[in-house]
Amino acid sequence: MEKITVSLGERSYPITIAAGLFKDPASFWPLKAGDNTMLVTNQTLEPLYLDALSARLTAAGVKVDQVILPDGEQYKTLAVMDEVFTALLQKPHGRDTTLIALGGGVIGDLTGFAAASYQRGVRFIQVPTTLLSQVDSSVGGKTAVNHPLGKNMIGAFYQPASVVIDTDCLRTLPPRELASGLAEVIKYGIILDGDFFCWLEQNLDALLALDEQAIAWCIRRCCELKAEVVAADEHEHGQRALLNLGHTFGHAIEAHMGYGNWLHGEAVAAGMVMAARTAQRLGQFSEADTQRIIALLQRAGLPVYGPQSMQAEDYLPHMLRDKKVLAGELRLVLPLALGRSEVRSGVAHDMVLAAINDCQKP
């Protein structure tokens, strides 16, 4: 079992990573007998996990209510979040309840924001079931829902009480979702840890084959890197923005194509190549390193070109709604080397458009 702590003073919390965690109710710390919970999950995960998990928690003396949401990024909305509030109020659940987010990034982000907002804040536990949410969205307290005009535009910084990662969940994950998670994994290598990037080049096949040791170590390393960044900059005043490599471009793809058509990791993968191309045009990144990124993404089954139906000009309006924009000016995360990156303002829009065009499928 791997265990990490996200250090945020009195709001610190543990991340527990292992195969088979769901079989032991003690994994769900800090829940204890007598606690009230509302388990939020989606229609895809319900038949896979809900009854068994609910029965084990109930046997441990925890009261479990549940709300089942439709599955997909297009349901990460205020209106769907309202269904969680309705379920909570119908019982009714008080301020002493605990929300359990059983699912991927959509369930985790939406449930986290619901926990932040219900009665102005109740406890919640992240139980991420996709690789993407295990290595990224479940850790660090960014919660949100989407708006038709921008992804994750409505939300809160709100930390969970714990994160419970059962790596067995990855065995039921569709291959496209696994690849989407690998995009965020590769991101950590590019922005923060060149050795980890090399390790990924050597171990990608083991990860794709869900080798238990490789997967557990990989998730642990990503969570460690993220925990360090979050502990240093919880509210993204500085370094935390690095975690958004590829996301400004990627969010534009997701918004333009309609949420759910391009998976988040797929859009980020293409976006990371666009960021690398921008960095190349600025003379701060090499063609050889861009090719290493492209090769690794392709081995993981991820796109390295933007959508064919999207022109370079289509990106900018979405990119200018990015949360990193300050005083109307775009700020981009750009690689400096494999393992090192920066947040950069003032890149000419022409150069950004040219870099996007570099990533049009020939």
Give catalytic residues, as residue numbers.
120, 142, 184, 226, 236, 240, 244, 247, 251, 264
From 245, 257, 233, 252, select the one nearest 184 (Cα to Cα).
245
* C-beta of residue 101 within 8 angstroms of C-beta of residue 133: no
Q: Is 198 annotated as a binding residue?
A: no
| Rounded Cα gap, residues 326 and 330, in angstroms | 7
* C-beta of residue 39 within 8 angstroms of C-beta of residue 45: no
Q: Per CB under 8 A, does 261 bind a copy of itself?
A: no
Q: Per CB under 8 A, does 328 bind a copy of itself?
A: yes
The binder of a copy of itself chosen from 48, 156, 198, 216 (CB under 8 A):
156
Number of residues that bind a copy of itself (CB under 8 A): 39
**Structure token pair of residue 56:** 């084990």
Q: Per CB under 8 A, does 33 bind a copy of itself?
A: no
| Rounded Cα gap, residues 329 and 342, in angstroms | 16
* C-beta of residue 27 within 8 angstroms of C-beta of residue 168: no
The binder of a copy of itself chosen from 61, 70, 121, 238 (CB under 8 A):
121
**Structure token pair of residue 359:** 């990533």
Helix (H, G, I), strand (E, B) or coil at 13: strand
The binder of a copy of itself chosen from 16, 31, 62, 142 (CB under 8 A):
142
The binder of a copy of itself chosen from 8, 19, 85, 239 (CB under 8 A):
85
> What distances in angstroms separate CA 304 from CA 127, 273, 285, one per listed residue?
30, 6, 17
| Rounded Cα gap, residues 319 and 299, in angstroms | 28
Single out the segment in contact with a copy of itself by CB under 8 A; choices: 10-18, 53-61, 115-123, 302-310: 115-123
| Rounded Cα gap, residues 241 and 332, in angstroms | 9
Single out the segment in contact with a copy of itself by CB under 8 A; choices: 15-23, 98-106, 181-189, 315-323: 315-323
Phi, psi of 120 (to 5 degrees): 65, 25
The binder of a copy of itself chosen from 327, 346, 361, 362 (CB under 8 A):
327
C-beta closer to a copy of itself: residue 288 or 326: 326
Residues in region 55-84 near a copy of itself by CB under 8 A = 78-79, 81-82
Q: Per CB under 8 A, does 346 bind a copy of itself?
A: no
| Rounded Cα gap, residues 291 and 276, in angstroms | 10
Minimum Å gap between C-beta 325 and a copy of itself is 4
* Residues in binding site: 71-76, 105-109, 129-130, 142, 151, 169-172, 184, 247, 264
Binding site for a copy of itself (CB under 8 A): 78-79, 81-82, 85-86, 89-90, 92, 94-96, 113, 116-121, 142, 144, 147-150, 153-157, 235, 320-321, 323-328
